[in-house]
Amino acid sequence: MDLVAGLERVPDGPVRRMFAAAGSHDIEALVAEFSQSYINVTPNHPQRNFTGTQQVRANWTSLFAGIPDLALKIHDAVADDDRTVWVEWSLHGHRLDGSAVELAGVAIFAVDQGKLAGVHFYLEPVERTSGDVDVAVRTTAGPGLPVEPEP
């Protein structure tokens, strides 16, 4: 099973191997790419931060079991040195009840001694019903404020 489109965009190394393992649903190969002291930071949801490979294993085991057709897509990737890799990616599939799952975002990986040492994780569910950009700005800025495009 190879379910990663665009994997060739990711530079050789542990990030690419991790995505390849995720695409193959190979939990052992996936976890092997993380350092024991791995730090996952989720800035938009700080309560989701964690340290260590035990949580990596638990997360991906649940994803593989709960979304059997889980597939990943790499939209773009860049390494600004051999220690930092930025990946824009998405995943999709169907839960056991048949409902669709779609997430998209960016992960900024830190690499140290050939292992994934950390990440800033910005993957979020894709939603298509909350309104256009004007609604989003009004929601952020507060009610009653005009939002009009510039001429």
Q: Identify whether 147 is part of a domain.
A: no
Distance from C-alpha of 147 to C-alpha of 151, rounded to nearest angstrom: 12
Q: How far is CA 43 from CA 23, 50, 74, 107, 143, in A?
A: 25, 12, 21, 11, 26
Number of folded domains that form the chain: 1
What's at 133, amino acid-wise? V
- pLDDT reported for residue 149: 60
Partners of 89 in the β-ladder: 74, 105
Pairing of strands 100-112, 124-125: antiparallel
Domain coverage including residue 11: 4-141
On the question of pLDDT at 146 being above 70, the answer is no
Question: Domain with 83 in it: what CATH number?
Answer: 3.10.450.50
Tens digits of per-residue pLDDT, 24-60? Answer: 999 999 999 999 999 999 999 999 999 999 999 999 9
Distance from C-alpha of 83 to C-alpha of 65, rounded to nearest angstrom: 31
Give the CA-trace dihedral at 49, 50, 53, 54, to 10 degrees.
-120
On the question of pLDDT at 2 being above 90, the answer is no
Q: Is the pTM of this model over 0.75?
A: yes
On the question of pLDDT at 143 being above 90, the answer is no
* Average pLDDT, rounded, for the chain: 93
Task: Of 85, 106, 76, give the one whose Cα is nearest residue 6.
Answer: 76
Joined tokens for residue 98: 């048949």
Q: Identify whether 149 is part of a domain.
A: no
Mean pLDDT on 94-111? 98
Chain centroid to Cα 70, Å, comes to 13
Q: Identify whether 151 is part of a domain.
A: no
Q: Identify whether 137 is part of a domain.
A: yes
Q: Identify whether 124 is part of a domain.
A: yes
Q: Identify whether 148 is part of a domain.
A: no
Q: Identify whether 94 is part of a domain.
A: yes
- Cβ(148)–Cβ(141) below 8 Å: no
At residue 104 the predicted structure's pLDDT band, cuts being 50, 70 and 90, is very high
Mean pLDDT on 112-125? 97
Q: Identify whether 117 is part of a domain.
A: yes
What's at 59, amino acid-wise? N
- pLDDT reported for residue 82: 81
On the question of pLDDT at 119 being above 70, the answer is yes
